[in-house]
Amino acid sequence: MSVQQTKKVTLTVFALLLSMSAFSQQASSPITVSGYVGTYYAWDSDKSVEPNAGFRQFSFIAPRKETFGLDVAMVSLKYAAERSRASVIVQYGDVTNGWGNGATAELNDLFGRYVQEAYAGFMLANNLWLDAGFFLTHVGEEGFFPKDNFLSSLALTTLYEPFGQSGLRLTYSFNDKWTAQLHLLNGYGLTFGRANTSTKAVGLQLDYRASQEWDFLYNALVGDGIGIGDAGQGKTYTYHNLVAKYFGAKMDLAFGIDVATQSKSKAVLNGEPGMALYFSGIAEARFKLHKQFNLMARGEIFQDNNGIFGVLSTDNDGLPVGLKAFGVTGGMEFKPMENAFIRGEVRFLSLDKDQKVFASENEPVNTRTEVIFTTGVLF
């Protein structure tokens, strides 16, 4: 299917979903139609990317600089009956052109660009559901869109986690506090139609809702190689993600830790490649000054020393080194109404001293400052 044909199909689906919204307003209807529109303006100090000429590095949200842009417009159709359910979410915008722009990026994956989620599910037994299709990853502390997060920009950790995943999802609710999921998936963040979907991964999620304020999650993936094309073949990875969230009257907190290993991926001198290790973390806070005003802050660290997600530099022995970075972000949010927001944020990102992937006026540098303004409306 060509790009033009895919766009026509997407617009048709948009129109169909919107036309069903009237039916969904009926009290007894099992169908719910909702949507979200997010816009942005961005600036950063990196001179290697010209204004409105390409996507900014490490920037999924607000990807173009010095231009007013559409992050995403999405329409969601959800069906929920007693023993069956389904979901379809279609999307369009600047961020969808980089959908999957992480370890397994394939920017021409048209399905991933315009379809965010599409699955059908059935209740197999009491509190036991089986879903099949394409859905957002279960891994991660942050979601992928500003509407789901304290801040609009995404941490490096989130950028390199899998975005969409396709396969089977088994969900069981033990009680009001404990829920578990088991996944059988097309590899690390692989969607339908990609070249190496013959590789499979097994995923796990354990969710413990300790109280009204605290929620704890453990997410995991085990599979055959992280990487683009053949880069991960013959290698086994494990991915672990721990998340803790607190929602209080005056303050919200969120913490995330990711640890991954991959066999045959750590380069060594005069020997066989060994086990590679990756680590990253996020800590976030949202201070509720008023029902319409919030202040937000985030700290992040990213340590891919052995280059599981790609090589950016070499060490003193000439061995490959992956992305090593830390960042801090501060922001302010104004909510003119419950379903809308206006945000401004400043983010400072610093890479390892040898990873000078940004540019100043005269030379390569390893740091970048960015400022973004975002708006969003849910309906």
Q: Locate the domains of the chain by residue range.
A: 3-378
* Second-level CATH architecture of 3-378: Beta Barrel (2.40)
**Structure tokens that stand for 340 in this block:** 């809308």
Tokens representing 229 are 């094309």
User: Is the per-residue pLDDT at 294 higher than 70?
Assistant: yes
- Cβ atoms of residues 274 and 261 within 8 Å: no
Tens digits of residue pLDDT in 239-287:
999 999 999 999 999 999 999 999 888 876 666 788 889 999 999 999 9
Cα–Cα distance measured from residue 101 to residue 112, given in angstroms and rounded to the nearest whole number: 11
pLDDT in tens, 309-337: 887 888 777 778 899 999 999 999 999 99
Q: How many residues does the chain have?
A: 379
Residue-level pLDDT at 104: 38
Look at 221 and 312; give whichever has higher pLDDT: 221
Query: Minimal CA–CA distance to 218: which of 200, 206, 228?
Result: 206
Give the residue, 169 or 225, on which the prediction is more confident: 169
Supply the pLDDT for residue 233: 64
Answer whether residue 165 shows pLDDT above 70: yes
Global pTM value: 0.86
- Give dist(CA 297, CA 72) in Å, integer: 24
CB 345 within 8 A of CB 329: yes
More confident call, 87 vs 16: 87
Query: Which is nearest to 377 in space by CA: 324, 337, 333, 330?
Result: 337
Q: What is the mean pLDDT of residues 86-104?
A: 74
At 297 the pLDDT is: 98
% pLDDT > 90, the chain = 64
Higher per-residue pLDDT: 30 or 317: 30
**How far apart are alpha carbons 224 and 222 in whole angstroms?**
7
Max avg pLDDT among 16-20, 136-140, 230-234 = 136-140
Enter the DSSP assignment of 306.
T
Longest C-alpha distance within the chain, in Å? 70
* Mean of the per-residue pLDDT values of the chain: 86
Which residues are registered as beta bridge partners of 76? 34, 89
pLDDT at 273: 83
Q: Which of 38-42, 113-117, 124-128, 310-314 has the lowest mean pLDDT?
A: 310-314
**20 neighbors 33 (Cβ within 8 angstroms):** yes
| Percent of the chain whose pLDDT exceeds 70 | 83
DSSP, collapsed to helix, strand or coil, labels residue 80 as strand
Q: What pLDDT is attached to residue 105?
A: 42
Torsion of CA 71, 343, 17, 164, to 10 degrees: 60
The token pair at 355 is: 């990873």
Model pLDDT for residues 347-374, shown as the tens digit of each residue: 999 999 999 999 998 899 999 999 999 9
Q: Is the pLDDT of residue 193 over 50?
A: no
* Choice between 12 and 28, residue whose per-residue pLDDT is larger: 28
Lowest-confidence segment of 34-43, 102-111, 273-282 by average pLDDT: 102-111
With contact defined as beta carbons under 8 Å apart, do 100 and 109 qualify?
yes
Q: Which residues of 292-318 are buried (b: 16+ CB within 10 A; e: fewer)?
A: eebebbbebbbbbbbbbbbebbeeeee
For the ranges 96-100, 140-144, 250-254, the lowest mean pLDDT is seen at 96-100
pLDDT of residue 132 exceeding 80, the answer is yes
